Amino acid sequence: MKRKCIPLGSRLSLLCPPALALILLIATGGLFAEDGPLPSWNEGPAKLAIIDFVAQVTTPGSDRFVPPADRIATFDNDGTLWPEHPMYTQLAFALDRVKALVPQHPEWKTTEPFKSVLAGDMAGVAASGEKGILELVMATHAGMSTAEFEQIVTDWFKTAKHPKFDRRYTELGYQPMLELLDYLRDHGFTTYIVSGGGVEFMRPMTMEVYGIPSQQVIGSSIKTEYQVVNDKPELMRKPDVNFIDDKAGKPVGINQFIGKRPIAAFGNSDGDRQMLEWTGAGSGARLMMLVFHDDAEREYAYGPAEGLPDTKFGTFSQDLMDEANNKGWSVIGMKDDWTQIFTSDQ
């Protein structure tokens, strides 16, 4: 894995960014103070890139100053703010729902992909392909009102646990990313989630886990339909895809929901590539960062480095790493950059 510095604008091109950030760190006492910003981040290029960027866009009078209304930062969720292994949390939810709903669907016992789900045969589920996964999603995510679905998700998050860490999913937000979200908000940023995950699956937990309110959560969605049943208006969830907020869909979703281009974007996989490109293509100071999962002991290790496995959940291709290096996007190595992984770590 090769990394480069993030490029600075023409005015600052003679200064090496880490050196500049170091000066800022020292000036703000960050290097010595126990209670400096981003305490779970080791000193290093990733932390320096963040602090340097925030200093640039928040310094009044600077030609890189950005007014608070335009300080938009977008974050992928799975693999960027919490784990995406051994599978996306939403898939774990769908599998649990199949098991919970099988009494009402006895035919699932003999029909794929449900049969494989019930047998715990993940290879069989995978063999059903995209069509099978979509069938699972629709069977478990549609056919009820938005209020009912919200309640189902809320209840699930109260008890469901991650298989490796044996903790509730809501306890597995990445502590350093939480600190980053807070740090940006403390500096006038508005923080958004822009995820391939279902928007109505995420919203019940984003405030509690990330401090991000529902209107700042952009995600994939199925269609909903307004119906008045017994004089009571409901939004019914239909088994049709409305929007896929992934890859080239991320800039589309950002434009549709926010109507402004972010100045900072954070991801961890090929699904975030276009979001980072779109963010980086604006003028002025920009910060694009990718979380790289290289910590098999404390979390998982996968992606474009020798000896690391490729993965279906959160593919980080060598192509993406090359683009990151070419464009000066910053790569966060979990192992070296983070002193703590989860908010619930002791």
Binding site for a copy of itself (CB under 8 A): 69, 146, 190, 199-200, 203, 213-215, 217, 221, 224-226, 228, 232-233, 235, 242, 248-249, 251-252, 255-260, 274, 277-278, 281
DSSP 294: B
Residues 6+ apart with CB under 8 A from 294: 1, 301, 303, 305, 308, 333, 334, 335
Report DSSP letters for 138-204, one per residue: HHHHSSSBHHHHHHHHHHHHHH-B-TTT-SBGGG-SBHHHHHHHHHHHHTT-EEEEEEEEEHHHHHH
Of 220 and 343, which CB lies nearer to a copy of itself in the complex structure?
A: 220
For the bound state, the minimum distance from the C-beta of residue 185 to a copy of itself, rounded and expressed in Å, comes to: 14
For the bound state, the minimum distance from the C-beta of residue 120 to a copy of itself, rounded and expressed in Å, comes to: 33
Q: Where are the alpha helices (DSSP H) in the chain?
A: 17-27, 45-58, 89-101, 114-118, 122-127, 129-141, 146-159, 175-186, 199-210, 249-257, 273-280, 318-327, 334-337
Of 114 and 210, which CB lies nearer to a copy of itself in the complex structure?
A: 210
Of 79 and 253, which CB lies nearer to a copy of itself in the complex structure?
A: 253
- Exposed, middle or buried: residue 165 (CB in 10 Å: 0-12, 13-18, 19+)? middle
Of 128 and 224, which CB lies nearer to a copy of itself in the complex structure?
A: 224
How many CB atoms are located within 10 Å of the residue 59 CB? 12
DSSP 41: B
Of 14 and 69, which CB lies nearer to a copy of itself in the complex structure?
A: 69
Of 122 and 252, which CB lies nearer to a copy of itself in the complex structure?
A: 252
For the bound state, the minimum distance from the C-beta of residue 67 to a copy of itself, rounded and expressed in Å, comes to: 11
Question: What's the gap between Cα 330 and its chain centre?
Answer: 16
Of 84 and 200, which CB lies nearer to a copy of itself in the complex structure?
A: 200
For the bound state, the minimum distance from the C-beta of residue 222 to a copy of itself, rounded and expressed in Å, comes to: 10
Give the residue from 245, 243, 336, 232 showing the smallest Cα distance to 291: 336
For the bound state, the minimum distance from the C-beta of residue 303 to a copy of itself, rounded and expressed in Å, comes to: 23
3-state secondary structure of 60: coil
Pairing of strands 190-198, 232-243: unpaired
CA pair distance 192, 275, nearest whole angstrom: 12
DSSP 83: -
Of 268 and 274, which CB lies nearer to a copy of itself in the complex structure?
A: 274
